[in-house]
Amino acid sequence: MRAAVVVRPVAEEDLLEVAELAASVAPDGTTAAADPGRLCEYLSVLLAAGGEVQVAVEDDAIVGFLLARVLGPRLYAVTPSLYIDAILVAPRARRHGVGRALLVAALELAGSAGAESIYCAPAPGAREMHRFLARLGFAPAAGHRVVAVPVLERRLAQGAAPGATVVRRRDGGRRRRDATRAAIEDLVARRRRAREAGLPTGPVDLRAFQVEHAAAEAAQAGSGAEPASHVS
């Protein structure tokens, strides 16, 4: 009987093992020409930038990982999204529910951030990964695959792997994401109201005003007139 797969946030002491797994096997099963030391650096930068690294552990060994980032609203995307930079499962652990367990963790990240969609960009030649994502509802979208959060929830529930568990995140991380989500929603609402009122929503350029003001002061100084007083 296989041990249960546990998915949890990466710890500092896990980074080298994650990097070695990524360096040894690419998503399509070919050897990846990558240095584990450099990969540790990349993972550290991702974490420092607010990214997420989730690891799947079986029998005290890391058998898969997920790299993801929460993207805030921008341009026509008015709600946050979860972007999966990479999802990898060791060949010996494939077809045993590890990928599903990692995507359950992705759902929790999306829910904490208020994300409505999850994007993923697997390598073009990773046919097995493309098929796996397609079965779970990910559809092609301009070089990516995207799925609505409720669709992924339903697909994962339909074929849940027995024994796969996800360790809940600390309350501190949830509170931080709740605060971020509230701030994003407030910003989106204020920008929407400003657009409806016909007001500018971007940064205000004061350089022209400053030039005109300096010219007016110079003209007053040349004419000997007293500068206008400012009432506070």
Assess if residue 209 is contained within a domain.
Answer: no
At residue 81, what are phi and psi to the nearest 5 degrees?
-135, 155
How many domains does the structure of the chain reveal?
Answer: 1
Range with lowest mean pLDDT among 12-21, 44-53, 71-80, 194-203: 194-203
Whole domain around residue 158: which residue ranges?
6-169
In the structure, what pLDDT confidence band is assigned to residue 106 with cuts at 50, 70 and 90?
A: very high
Q: What integer is the mean pLDDT of 195-202? A: 60
What average pLDDT does the segment 186-200 reach?
63
Q: Is 98 a domain residue? A: yes
- At 147, which CATH number? 3.40.630.30
Question: Tokens 């204020």 label which residue?
Answer: 190
33 and 25 Cβ atoms separated by less than 8 Å: no
Instruction: Choose from 3-7, 52-56, 154-158 the range with maximum mean pLDDT.
Output: 52-56
Residue 182 lies in a domain: no
pLDDT for residue 216 = 66
pLDDT for res 23: 83
| Mean pLDDT for the stretch of residues 6-29 | 81
- The stretch 2-26 carries a mean pLDDT of 85
Q: Is residue 218 part of a domain?
A: no
Cα 176 from Cα 122, distance rounded (Å): 29
Q: Is residue 45 part of a domain?
A: yes
Q: By mean pLDDT, which of 55-59, 109-113, 193-197 is the weakest?
A: 193-197
For 143-171, how does the pLDDT look when each residue is reduced to its tens digit (9 = 90+)?
Answer: 778 888 888 888 888 866 555 555 544 54
* 19 belongs to a structural domain: yes
Please report which confidence band the pLDDT of residue 62 belongs to, taking 50, 70 and 90 as the band edges: very high
Identify whether 178 is part of a domain: no
- Report which of 136, 52, 133, 62 is spatially closest to residue 92, judged by C-alpha positions: 62
Q: How confident is the model at residue 78 (pLDDT cuts 50, 70, 90)?
A: confident
pLDDT band at 227 (very low <50, low <70, confident <90, very high): very low
Q: Is residue 216 part of a domain?
A: no
